[in-house]
Each structure stands twice: as structure tokens, then as C-alpha cells.
A and B are shown apart, each in its own frame.
Chain A
Amino acid sequence: MKTKILFIALLAFSQLAIAQKHIAKTGHVWFYSYTPMEVIEAHNRQVVSILDVSNGDIQVILLNKSFEFKVTLMQEHFNENYMETTKFPKSSFKGKITNLDKIDFKKDGVYTAEVTGDLTIHGVTKNVSNTGTIEVMSGVITAKAKFKVIPKDFGIQIPQLVETKIAKEMEITADITYAAN
């Protein structure tokens, strides 16, 4: 009998745990590179993210080949020369919201979120910290963040020939709306 109750309790608890996880499959991540010679931006609208509101765990994972450029040639260079997307198909972030006590996922509002974790690009993983926002709007959660990434830090070599066209620092923006559950 005892085990039965325990089992039911566990089952109920696991259900609860599932309900705490919010999933996004069409998140939007884009990057922006500015030099006086050339402005480059590329958008990826197929970003997957899992946010666990019970403990602040946040995961973002995307396919590098899903970045769309205005110019085909830029996209080819991005895939073949710089990001080597056949060798490294995915980029990811796996981290935690560290000021979870300041965020009320049940109450509408815009909250500042402090996030820290591992950013993996081009097969290189780096520990990063950044602030973003969590927006709660009638139960729907949207996570937003903006940060800078230096390609060189992730072993991405930019040839001298195009150095004037590609920024030393890329501005990366994430805008991820989680499905309501």
C-alpha cells in the first residue's frame, strides 16, 4: 500500500515536473555584423529552447545551416568557410537563470534575468554570463537577450581579404517565445 501511494505521489510529481518545462521550437536568433564596408545580418527562426521555470535551467540549441542571409554567396561562405556547418551542425547554450527569485512566471511583467552557462559555437565551448529579459504576458513566456561574440574566440578564422567587411564582434540577439502549456 505504502509503495502504491509513493508511486502515485511520484507520478504526480513527475507530471508537475513536466508542466514546469516550457518548450519553444520556432525561436528567433539573429546576428548582425557591422563595418563601414558591409552590413551583414542573418536570421534563424527555427531555434529550439527548453526553459524549466522550477529551477531556471535554460537550453537553447540551433542548426547553423538554418541561418538565412539576404545574399546566397554570404550564406555559402558562412557555411563552408567560417562556421564549417557540415562539421559543426549545431550551436548551443546550456545554462541557468541565477536570479530566479526575482522572476514571477505567474505574473505578467518584464523581468531582468541574469544568465550564466556554456556557449558552444564551432565546436568550442566557453563559459559566458549575460543579462536578458523574461517577459510574461498572459501566461506566455518570452526570453530575450543580446550579446557580443568574437569569432576568433571560437576558433573562427576570418581571412585578411575580407577583414574590412566582417566585424570583429558579432552582435547576437535572441527572441524566443515559449509555447503555452
Chain B
Amino acid sequence: MLVLVIVATAFIRQPPPHKLTYLQLVIPKGWPRPTINIFANNPLTEEGFQLGRKLFYDARLSRDSNFSCAGCHQQFAAFATYDHDFSHGYNNSFTTRNAPGLFNLAWQKELHWDGGVNHIEVQPLSPLTAENEMATTLADVLKKLKRDTSYIRLFKIAFADGSINSQHLLKALAQFTGSIQSYNSRYDKVKRGEDTFTVSEAEGYKVFSARCNSCHTEPLFTDNSFRNNGLFLNKKLMDKGRMGITGNPIDSLKFKVPSLRNIPLTFPYMHDGRLINISKVIDHYRNGIDTAQPTLDPLLKKRLVISNQEKVDLMSFLLTLKDDVLTHDPRLKQPD
């Protein structure tokens, strides 16, 4: 009897045990360790990841249930919007910036083209609530989730107190998006000695190393800095990038250097998608830069000299950055 009582009280006093399967972010060989640990207060688990995955693909996270996160962040496009300068949002609206690919986010201290979001967990608040994106409210999303028995079950499994609240919603999404990694392109395989470049790709890699690598730094192919690369101000959008966040005129027209990984899938390019293909991007750096801009990056004050042959080689090198493992990873697909 006493034993029974002890067992019973022990059960009352402690929450039921959760068998969580802990996961680890992969740090590919030769990569720097992330400067921040995005999972510091959000231990990465299989259960949290799977909940985040379901949420990511769930269009009910928008006001009219038409727009999921995955609607604009498509796996086959390395989680960018394929072939769109701007993405579509609620009520036939457009976004005002080009959707970036989502991968290797654990190495990004700030998110968005202007770095306005300072933590991966709070990023979804922007698209969820923006009138030209998912156009909903956190309260509304939580109300929908609380009515769904499968979510009630999944939140219970993934988090200690099991409640459906904004923190758990955001942490689960961060576990999914923070786990999307790209390190299996042909470039990576060549680096690991599993493949070789063609002559043209090897020549292009030389051009890349000499002219592009200082901002699009390997192995992430970005140094995560904010720079003005000499694009004319888009008069319709009047988007001054980083200055909108810092309020500092020295940040006028600066945008985050995007990673070149998966570049064949993330066209069109630049923060407003104005350049439709890689050829146009290289031409911009050869002769399209607006050198009159006071905040133009010092590295671009002198135009980049890239010959036509070098351009062709550079383009073939850039194609090696496409990561088919990422775009076909069954763990990142829409759950059944």
C-alpha cells in the first residue's frame, strides 16, 4: 500500500516523462563554428523539428489559409521563391523584397535583407502579421492550432509543459528552419575530394576567388555583412535597406550580402529581384555600378574587370553551388 502511495505521489509531483530525441546541428568539416548558438534556449529535438516542419507547411497559418511559410520558401528552390522577383501575399498583394533561400541560418546573426530581425525565433512574426504576406495575428493562429487535435498532441510531445503558446510555436518553427543546411553541392564534393571540377569550373573558381570571395566568403558564400553594391535606388519602393533599421545615413542602400549557395535556384537576384539571371548579375559588377553613391562599398569603387571568357567560366563555377541533397531531402519535404 505504502509503495503504491509513493508511486502515486511521485507520479503526481512530476510531469510525465518526455522521451525527447535530441538532434545536433551538423558543422561540416572546415566550417567556422556559428558565432551564436541559435538553439541555446531551444534544444533541437526530433519532436520539435517535426512540429516545426508541420507548421512550416501549414497554410492555416495565414488569414485565408492560402499561404504557408513553404508557399514562398519552396524546397525545390532552396527555400526561396522560384522564378519570382516578389512573392505573392494575402489578397493579391506582393511582397516588397525578394524572398531569400533558407539554409545555414544557424550562421546568420541577423535575418532579412536589412538585418532587422535579431533572432531566428522571432522572424516568423514578420511574415505572419504582414498585410501583404500571411496577414494574420498570433492570437488567430494559436486559436486555430488549439482546435486541432494533431497539434495538441504534437505540442505535448515536443515541449515540457505541452501548451500551445506563441513561444512554443516560434521555437518549433526555429527548430525546423534552423536545421535546413546546405553543404552538399558539387562544390562541397570537390572540396571533400569526392568529385572534380571541369576545366571551365576550375577556371571560374579562380575568378571567383580573386573577385567575389571577399564578400561572398567561403564556405558560407557570404560574410553576413551589409553593403551597398551600387544598384540604383528603386524609386517605386524607396527601399534604403539597412538604414531603415539603424537610422544611420552611412547605412543607406546597404543590404545583406546573400549567400551564393544554390544560386542557380534563387533567381531573380538582388533585394528587389531586378536582375533576372546570373549573366546580368556579373554584368552589373562589370559595368552597371552607380559609382556616384556615397555609401558604395569601397571594394566596388573600381569596376570589376571580368573578361567574357572569365564570365563564362565563373557562371559554370556558380552552377556547382546547387545542392541537390538539400532540395531532395525527404526530411524537409511537406509531411504526409
A and B associate: no
Enumerate chain B interface residues (CB-CB to A < 8 A).
none
